[in-house]
Amino acid sequence: MLVFALFSIRRAWQGFWRNALMSLAATLTMVLMLTLLAGFFVLQNVLLASLSYVEQKVEVVAYIENTATQEQVDALVSQVQAMPEVASVEYVSRDQALANFRAQLQAQGRPDLTANLDQNPLYASINVKLHDPAQLNTVVSAIHDDPIVRSVINIQALVDRVLTFTGIVRTAGVVILGIVGVIVLFIIVNTIRLAVVARAEEIEIMRLVGASDAFIRWPFVFEGALVGLFGALITLGMLALAADPLSKAMVNFFNVLPIELGSVGRDTAALVLGTGLGVGVVGAWVSVRTYLIR
């Protein structure tokens, strides 16, 4: 068994270098394709994170009548808080609302005209964040019926739009990643198959001198694995080198979006290695098979 494994690995190694042209072509194709796949995967992750962030921003704002007592407000807050769809509730008093407004004006560099006011024209409000923006309606109607609520800002249309948009982008992302994945798989399997076809003669002779199927198959499978492994390692090396400057650049320019990308690095490595090895092995296995069934 060990002898057999050693033999297969040695032959795979020899085969790889003996057909250097084919092998390097296959490896390079593998590298390029895996880079593409990894790139799309990372983009897809960034996209998903950004979308979650955008969706987080969806909140329900209910303006409170000035006549409402603090107890009524507290009751409303705790009632809303109790709803399973709700993530968090924040009460903004009238004074706070005015302060926010002033700060906002200042930040935008616009003249502050509230100084000329004799009374605070703003209403207090409660701002509700949801677990899932799709459940907006339930929450809105619940709040709307409370007597102390003056009005609920009609953000239904906006939310719908954001939801449809993020949904579409998400689907498109998955579809594109899927298409790129299929392209990658196809091209790698194809390259490996061509490499095997180019050695049909060798397989033929092996059969005729009495090699068993395992002796014919495994060296090719290991060779496919070798192509996959080399391809994946080179890709990961390149990505590792590129990751630092890239993520710095991202932090610099996207710092508006505090995106969580903790495990993307690990996931990408797993994806690249898995795809490389998997496609190499399966591609070789399938390609050799057609020659064995005779």
24 part of the interface to other proteins, by CB under 8 A: no
Q: Which stretch binds its own copies (CB under 8 A): 76-84, 86-94, 117-125, 262-270?
A: 117-125
206 part of the interface to other proteins, by CB under 8 A: yes
231: burial class by Cβ within 10 Å (0-12, 13-18, 19+)? buried
213 part of the interface to other proteins, by CB under 8 A: yes
CB of 201 to its own copies, least distance (A): 12
7 part of the interface to other proteins, by CB under 8 A: yes
Report the residue number, 59 or 223, with the smaller CB distance to other proteins: 223
Give the integer Cα–Cα distance in Å for 191 and 222: 15
71, 118, 145, 201: which one contacts other proteins (CB under 8 A)? 201
Report the residue number, 209 or 253, with the smaller CB distance to its own copies: 253
56, 212, 263, 290: which one contacts other proteins (CB under 8 A)? 212
- Contact track, its own copies, 132-171, x by CB under 8 A: ---------------------xx---------xx--x---
Report the residue number, 113 or 209, with the smaller CB distance to its own copies: 113
CB of 220 to its own copies, least distance (A): 17
From the centroid of its chain, how far is CA 220? Answer: 34
- Contact track, its own copies, 177-196, x by CB under 8 A: ---x--x--xx--x--xx--
CB 223 within 8 A of CB 12: yes
83, 105, 185, 216: which one contacts other proteins (CB under 8 A)? 216
Give the integer Cα–Cα distance in Å for 48 and 267: 14
CB of 9 to its own copies, least distance (A): 26
Residues that bind other proteins (CB under 8 A): 3-4, 7, 11, 18-19, 201-202, 204-213, 215-216
